Amino acid sequence: MSQYQLITNGQLGSFKMKGYALRYSSFVPRLYNLTKSLGFTPNKIMPSRAFCSDESQGFPIILIAKHFGAFPFNHGRVGGMIALDRHGPHAHHGLDMVIIHASHVGYDKDSQQYGVYRRLQTEPACNTSNCGKIDGVLTWYLQQYEYAKTHVFISKQAYNYSIIIDNELLNEQRNSGIVLALENLIEADDAGNFQVLENLSTAKRFALVSKRRAIMEKMDIKEGDVLPIGDLLTPKDFSFKKSTTDHMEMNLLPAMPIIVSSASPMLKAAQVSTQVEFDRGFRSISQDSHYNGKNVLFISGLNVDISPKSGQIFPLTKFIPWAVFHQSSDGQQTVWEQEEVLKRLQAQPEENNDQIELDSAISDMESYQEIFLHEPS
């Protein structure tokens, strides 16, 4: 079974959002208290974050520093990819280890749109893509999908339905592009061949596959109509062909038909990225000898950056947990699925008596006696 089949058979459907979103101001102290309940030692926990480099991720980082008492190590690359080559340095910086990973997506409350974020530092303040890396990867695929939706047509003639497909989409010699699953669209003859009913100037007409005709009847297509297939081109009807070495793109490519045809491609892509990166990170962290003998908690989820309004410095970021890998210092390892992660977090108090007061800590640093640096001889 292919990776694409695995994904379309339900992997994405298991990512729940409703009732799972936690404000970061609630999530981080609960996470800290969770680590204490697991035997992690206060003041000896080295947090690490695997976030995108976007400035919208700053507020979560500040809260991590506040509640864990240490500025988090950086395990992240652009787009929220996990840097697997940084486990060793991270492990050397503390007794107990916490890694918080999250892909991210913007959200504009006024338009209820995912994938955009209001950049207050622009002039005038305007909405831009968020995550920009995901947006950059999706652009080509969305264009390909839109082209197919508007260049495949359904026609009705003499009570028979036919499908007209642009010649470009039938060209099997292309190095890249959207690839139609013709068996889901065209009626094959007894030998399994697709018979061309009519050669047009830029397209070919075929008999529409019989399993689609019931749907056409419900649409009340009139005699002589020629209509774009539009949203009737479902994820099962196509895939993509493209050579790439981009990490993010390789993560998303198997699920790209589901992503581009979803109501919110940016949100769906961020969910997929979270899932793929947790699986990848789990396999690396659980086998890395640098973490032997240590308490380790690796949590992965989705950061939703709710656009700030004028007067707000930071976004009202929410965290939607996906999964956790937990390793105790005696070597026992477990994975918690989404529902268990939420239950464990919600069972913890929001109050953190160990949190540091950042203003006081900074004030104390400013009041310390000056230390002058000497020049080595």
* Per-residue pLDDT tens over the stretch 161-214: 999 999 999 999 999 999 999 999 999 998 889 999 999 999 999 999 998 887
Report if residue 366 sits inside a domain: no
Which residues does residue 371 pair with via DSSP β-bridges, in sequence order? none
Q: Do 286 and 205 belong together in one domain?
A: no
Least Cα distance to 306 among 26, 112, 45, 95 occurs for 112
At 369 the pLDDT is 85
Report if residue 96 sits inside a domain: yes
At 9 the pLDDT is 44
Residues 72, 64: contact at Cβ < 8 Å?
Answer: yes
Report if residue 27 sits inside a domain: yes
Cα Rg, the chain, nearest whole Å: 26
365 or 132, higher pLDDT: 132
Q: Do 306 and 217 belong together in one domain?
A: no
- 59, pLDDT greater than 60: yes
**Segment (H or E) for 49:** strand 45-50
Specify which of 115-124, 226-235, 328-337 reaches the highest per-range mean pLDDT. Answer: 328-337
Report if residue 364 sits inside a domain: no
Sign of CA dihedral 71, 76, 82, 83: negative
Q: Do 15 and 98 belong together in one domain?
A: yes
Last residue of a domain, one of 241, 272, 300: 241
Residue 347 CB coordination number (10 Å): 11
Query: What total of structural domains would you count in the chain?
Result: 2
Q: Do 40 and 106 belong together in one domain?
A: yes
Q: Do 185 and 280 belong together in one domain?
A: no
Assign 3-state DSSP to the chain and report helix, strand, coil percentages, each to 5: 40, 25, 35
pLDDT band at 13 (very low <50, low <70, confident <90, very high): low
Q: Do 180 and 92 belong together in one domain?
A: no
pTM of the model: 0.91
Note every long-range contact of 268-273, with CB atoms under 8 Å and residues 24 or more positions apart, other chains counting. Answer: 268/12, 269/134, 269/137, 269/138, 270/80, 270/103, 270/104, 270/105, 270/131, 270/134, 270/302, 271/12, 271/15, 271/103, 271/302, 272/7, 272/12, 273/79, 273/80, 273/103, 273/134, 273/248
- The proportion of the chain whose per-residue pLDDT surpasses 90, expressed as a percent, equals 75
Tell me which amino acid residue 123 is.
Answer: E
The boundaries of the domain holding residue 336 are 3-115+264-346
Using DSSP's 3-state secondary structure scheme, residue 178 falls into strand
| Residues sharing a CB contact under 8 Å with residue 359, sequence separation 6 or more, in sequence order | none
What is the C-alpha separation between 106 and 267, in angstroms, rounded? 8
Mean pLDDT over the full length of the chain: 92
